[in-house]
Amino acid sequence: MPASLRFRLWLSYALVSAVALGVVALILFLYLLSNPLLYRQTIQRLKAVEAIVAERDAAQPIQTVAQRAAQNFDARILLYAPNKELMLDTAATDSPLPFPKKRVLSTLPLTRDQNGAAWLYSIKRLPDKTYLMVAAPRPQFSVVNLFADDFLPIILQSGFIALILSLALAFFVSRWIADPLQQVVVAARSMPEAQIQPMAAQGPQEVQELTRAFNSMALRAQSSQKSQRDFVANVSHELKTPLTSIQGFAQAILDGAAETDAERQQAAQIIYDEAARMNRMVLDLLDLAKLDAGAAEITMSPLNVPALLRTVAEKFAPQLRQAGVEIITQADSNLPKISADGDRLSQVFTNLIDNALKFTPRGGSITLSAAAANGEMIISVADTGAGIPPEAQAHIFERFYQADPARKGGQKHGAGLGLAIAYEVIRAHGGRIALRSRLGAGTTFDVFLPLRNRSILPNA
């Protein structure tokens, strides 16, 4: 309990409150020490005498009223001319008391006679421009009496109530701050087993920001866990088919089920093809892992985009002839060069063209185009295939995702990693890739690469 944040916050607020009350008590005690109750009572008595003399009957001389009031109330009454010269003093035998001067650092009406004795006074200007002053010697008092009579009752009454209220307020403030943090701690401890629900942002602004950041982190963590589970499931599924084929045909050779040379040749060919398929998938996964970790080797150098597109298109000449698909390259040879990794971009456009070739029917075409606009090189790969349904377009760059039913008659092609690799390679170049597709009208992939040389942004 003493180590908890809630207790420490409460203790901190309690200590601050106690220190504040202590400072107030010290200031109050110093004030009472310089202006105790006995002083204030004396000043009130002097003001009362002053009022009696000032409000006398006009027919009565002020000297007579002053002498009588001085005797009755044990006070010294003085009258000063407008030029502040002494005109009347009911205690003329005492040490002379000059006209009081203003004291800048004190609010206590205190003056001293010529012998240095201290007098409390009350002064008032009369209608005839003279000054009436009523004075009395400053009374003596005990610090012990001051503490017991003036200071202690105030502290016991108001200070105790203030302390209780401040402790209660400290308790609620500490809960206001600590409770949302405790919820975050409980939710963090339940990760990753439990499905974390977003928590309501409560408490101070900083705690609310922390809660929102935790909610965002939890969603990302859950999404990452789901992606990892899907990834493992997809890899297992993709490896299962070729492994089953390899195992089956290898068993056929071992058992002698493949009796003729042609049958053994066919079994060996299937084993070889399936092993090659597994090898390609492993290489693609390694590529993705390196791109994710920012460890992929990307060598930037000046690159002629039209020449790159022509080279990639020429590699597909045999497949294009066999599939009956035409490829068209539309790129001005005067386009500016970009800073990029030619081998990596060749891999990207090879994947895009291969993908378009698989889903373009005989008699269709694939168009490669490049243009410079708004500080970017825009390279497009468009086909005349069946298009991709809208619900599949949002997932097309996800790993192992395949929109096969809409693009072909259910025939399986690859492991669904080509577009994911293309997406990561373009991101590593500081660019982006976008999809435009409509059912029955074909699909276009647009690649946007910066014309100017930029820092490589892996995992940007």
Give the HSE-up count for residue 363: Cα atoms under 13 Å, Cβ half-sphere: 0
pLDDT of residue 292: 72
pLDDT of residue 410: 35
**Closest by CA position to 53, among listed 64, 44, 42, 43:** 64
Q: Which single residue is written with the structure tokens 């992929």? A: 296
Span 218-264, pLDDT tens digits:
777 777 677 677 667 767 766 787 888 888 888 888 888 877 888 88
Terminal CA-CA length for the chain: 44
Residue 338 three-state SS: strand
Domains and CATH numbers, the chain: 37-140 (3.30.450), 205-293 (1.10.287.130), 301-450 (3.30.565.10)
* Cα–Cα distance measured from residue 37 to residue 66, given in angstroms and rounded to the nearest whole number: 26
* Cα–Cα distance measured from residue 136 to residue 130, given in angstroms and rounded to the nearest whole number: 20
- Evaluate whether 120 touches 135 at the Cβ level (below 8 Å): yes
Give the HSE-up count for residue 259: Cα atoms under 13 Å, Cβ half-sphere: 0
| Structure letter (DSSP) for residue 157 | I
pLDDT of residue 3: 54
pLDDT of residue 455: 42
- The angle subtended at Cα 186 by Cα 185 and Cα 188, nearest 5°, is 65
Residue 434 three-state SS: strand
3-state secondary structure 216-279: HHHHHHHHHHHHHHHHHHHHHHHHHHHHHHHHHHHHHHHHCCCCCHHHHHHHHHHHHHHHHHHH
Strands, E assignment, 374-431: 376-383
* Cα–Cα distance measured from residue 437 to residue 439, given in angstroms and rounded to the nearest whole number: 7
The residues facing 373 across adjacent strands are 376
Residues composing the chain: 460
pLDDT of residue 155: 62
* Cα–Cα distance measured from residue 2 to residue 171, given in angstroms and rounded to the nearest whole number: 14
The residues facing 158 across adjacent strands are none
| Structure letter (DSSP) for residue 233 | H
pLDDT of residue 406: 39
pLDDT of residue 1: 46
* pLDDT, averaged in runs of 10, over the chain (460 residues): 60 72 65 63 88 84 88 91 91 87 74 87 91 87 54 64 75 73 73 68 75 79 71 72 84 82 85 83 77 76 92 90 92 89 91 89 93 91 90 80 48 64 89 90 93 50
Cβ within 8 Å of residue 385, ≥6 positions away: 356, 359, 360, 361, 364, 407, 442, 443
Span 287-304, pLDDT tens digits:
777 777 776 778 889 999
Q: How buried is residue 259: exposed, middle or buried, by Cβ count under 10 Å (0-12/13-18/19+)?
A: exposed
